[in-house]
Copies of this chain bind each other. A is one copy, B any other.
Amino acid sequence: MTKLNESRWWIMNQKELEQLVIKNKSYCSEGQNAHYIPALAKVNPNQLGITLYNIKTRDMLSAGESSVKFAIESISKVPALLLAIEDNGLSNVLNHINTEATGFSFNSPLNMEINHDKHPLNPFVNIGAIETTSLIQGSSPDDCYSRLLSFIKEICHDNTISLNEEIYQSEAKTGDINRSLAYYLKGNNMLSKEVEGVLEVYFKQCSLNVTTENIAMMASVLANKGIKPWDNKRLISEESATLVKSVMTTAGLYDESGEFSAHVGIPGKSGVGGGLMGVSPNQFGIGVFSPPLDKSGNSLAGVRLLKDVVTKLHLNIFD
């Protein structure tokens, strides 16, 4: 990957991006790291990093903590959904999971996550994400996880992505609410695989270590209609990329999904590890990282930094 050639059509240079990081870094002290597992609580909260990848020029622009590894957490719901669609076809996935908008909290009462027609509301509420992961094909949980890890390495263009074992052990150990959700699916005949095997894959997918560069690359495939910008090869269908960007818009940031769309205005997906993915269709893939979260579980400084970048580069899709 070549570094940014500042003479090109970019309207933002390295220095400007660094200034936006500095401007928003003070917000780190206004949020709190996720504290439900020690491995997340102990991360240095005073970090803010961002990477933009331009799908036309193949330039990458980063500032702040862009190479620090962090737990991908709920951002993994995006590649899991993409792989489930590749494995089963879009219409088969949509037979299991709806794509309805939500303004629900990340710990919303489970029954609100289920529609009247006994489908999870969408793939980004927890109960829908567990269902999604169960649709990934494989002969065993290990096989499913291995296939998903390979897919994530490919969509992030980074073969070194690996499991954070400490996070995984904590997720598995403290994951009883997710177990409750999975057994609720099972008890309602919405889960065809065994609960513990599905959860093993789910907890592992949430525990992968990534960087803002990884997230920006993944986002750039979505921005580029499913084609990897770096080698011009199609990874996922255009239809799938379009649908996922839509679901990110109506349900990507928990109970701030609508507010994020109204005030930032690009498809986004957050994780409680402090990561935030933004997609600017046909232009940029964006990865952001800052551990302290607001009360809804979204990166506090990260959302603000992304908003500034979107404004500066005129990326709002509703404008």
Taking beta carbons and an 8 Å cutoff, which residues of A are in contact with B? Answer: 98-103, 109-111, 121-122, 174-184, 186-188, 195, 225, 238, 241-243, 245-247, 249-251, 255-259, 261-263, 265, 267, 281, 316-319
Contacts and interface: CB of A to CB of B under 8 A. Distances in A.
B258 A101 contact: yes
Contacts of A258: 98-102, 121-122, 246-247, 250-251
A95 to B, nearest CB: 14
Contact of A109 (B102, B109, B247, B281): B109
A100 B255 contact: yes
Given A101-B103, A250-B101, A281 B318 contact: yes
**Chain A facing B: main interface SS:** helix
Given A99-B261, A100-B259, 20 more contacts: A100-B256, A100-B257, A101-B102, A101-B257, A110-B110, A176-B183, A177-B184, A178-B187, A180-B181, A180-B187, A183-B183, A242-B265, A242-B318, A247-B261, A249-B250, A249-B261, A249-B318, A250-B261, A251-B258, A281-B318
Contacts of A109: 109-111
Given A101-B250, A249-B261, A251-B101, A242 B319 contact: yes
B183 A318 contact: no
Nearest to A295: B116
A120 B245 CA distance: 26
Contacts of A249: 249-250, 261, 318
Contacts of A179: 179-180, 183, 186-187, 195
A41 B3 CA distance: 63
Contacts of A111: 109-111
A246 to B, nearest CB: 5
List the 5 shortest-distance A-B pairs measured between CB atoms, nearest first. A176-B187, A109-B111, A101-B258, A100-B103, A177-B187
Contacts of A241: 319
Given A179-B187, A183-B180, A317 B281 contact: yes
A111 B177 CA distance: 12
Given A98-B259, A122-B258, A186 B176 contact: yes
Contacts of A256: 100
A225 B101 CA distance: 25
A98 to B, nearest CB: 7
A189 to B, nearest CB: 9
